Amino acid sequence: MASASNRVTLAQIAEYAGVSVATVSKVVNGRPDVAQQTRDAVLELMRQHNYGGNRDDLRSHPTVELFFGFEELSIYCTAMVQAVVDAGAREGVGVVVSRRSDRDPAADPAGWAHNLAAAGRRAVIAVTANTLSPPMVEALSRVRLPLVLLDPEVPDPSIVSVGSTYFAGGRAATTHLLSLGHRRIAYLGGKEDASSNQARLHGFRSAMEAAGVPVLGELVRHAGSFHTAEGVEHGKGLLAADPAPTAVFAACDELAAGVIEAARLRGLRVPEDLSVVGFDDTPLARVTSPPLSTVHQPINEMGGVALRTALRLASAEEIDSHHVELATRLVLRDSTGPVPADTDPDGARQTETDVAF
């Protein structure tokens, strides 16, 4: 291993590779105008000699890239950052956080991957699979950077991933609402084609079907993102149905918080008039008014498993499983309660004109 006094220089890397210093500089900076064979040879020499420019030895201070394919990070994403950073601190590994809006890797997958390798990354953890195009995955493979998908929207059987039991969580949330007497229950999910959303929805449908309660098309909605504003918008639409639902299962805490706000704007009380259940158990769930009943997703454990798995892959070690799913559990707070008393047997709330005297 090179010491501080004999650390290899850029010129020496160029000499070993049989290319110019300018060519090595282009590789370090992720420039695309270098032949792939030359780029691979230079990067391999950098790894062999622990080249890190003027930085400390990168092998002594390993780093992992945590990449988000979002323009802005949700509360759930920030909780995931905390989980991976905490795991990195325990393992003695630095975590560098990036997102698509910083520099869109899809525009130059090879340059993105080579920049990560030249910066000394040991592995990449990507949140949501659909943010990584096949060229991006291939580019990481070419520079020998292991990839782990964390909470993938669309699991890829060829890529190692870590998620949680979305189906079981969706079923538990819905079963809880049914146990309180609710029958007209709405589902507000995320992107319709995302497998994580589909799993939650299937859990919802499974519980409803087991109870012999129909799933009504007008009470199933899908938001374009997991943000509170969309929860308010879609919550207004659901509560405008005639008759309106007496309970809503939302696929994340932010959407659930939006539904609670939509209920407030409509003059409805939670949980007296409307019960709401979320998913994730982020810090938001404890500060909504009232505090949110939600499905706890083991975010801290997921971050830790993803980081340790990435490091094992980087060290060419065997891993226990190609895909890991950690268990969810229902956390009950104050946003759920019994079905309103003025509800008919079909689950619809009666209006003043419906009540018999």
Percent of the chain with pLDDT over 90: 58
Chain centroid to Cα 244, Å, comes to 31
- Report the range of poorest mean pLDDT among 23-37, 109-123, 313-327: 23-37
pLDDT digits (tens, 9 = 90+) for 26-75: 776 556 678 888 888 888 887 777 665 444 444 446 899 999 887 778 89
**Which of 53-62, 130-139, 156-165, 265-274 is least confident?**
53-62
Backbone angles phi, psi at 179, to 5 degrees: -65, -20
Listed residue (317, 73, 23, 275) closest to 173, CA to CA:
275
Q: Which two tokens stand for residue 53?
A: 């420019």
> Which pLDDT tens digit goes with each residue over 335-351?
999 999 877 666 665 54
Distance CA 344, CA 357 (A): 15
Beta strands in the chain (DSSP E): 63-68, 94-99, 121-127, 147-150, 160-164, 185-189, 220-222, 247-250, 275-280, 293-296, 323-326, 329-331
Nearest to 227 by CA among 166, 178, 268, 284: 284
Domains and CATH numbers, the chain: 1-60 (1.10.260.40), 166-297 (3.40.50.2300)
pLDDT at 22 over 60: yes
Which element (helix H / strand E) includes 41? helix 36-48
Residue linked to tokens 């991976």: 84
Distances in Å between the alpha carbon of 54 and those of 40, 43, 236?
22, 17, 56
Q: Is the pLDDT of residue 234 over 90?
A: yes
Between CA 208 and CA 190 the distance in angstroms is: 19
Question: What pLDDT score was predicted for residue 347?
Answer: 63
* C-alpha R_g of the chain: 25
> Buried b / exposed e across 66-101, counting CB within 10 Å, b at 16+?
bbbbeeebbbbbebbbebbbebbeebebbbbbbbee
Average pLDDT over residues 234-258: 97
Beta bridge partners of 68: 99, 127
* DSSP state for residue 116 in the 8-state scheme: H
Cα–Cα–Cα angle for 143, 144, 146, rounded to 5 degrees: 125
pLDDT classification of 102: cutoffs 50, 70, 90: low
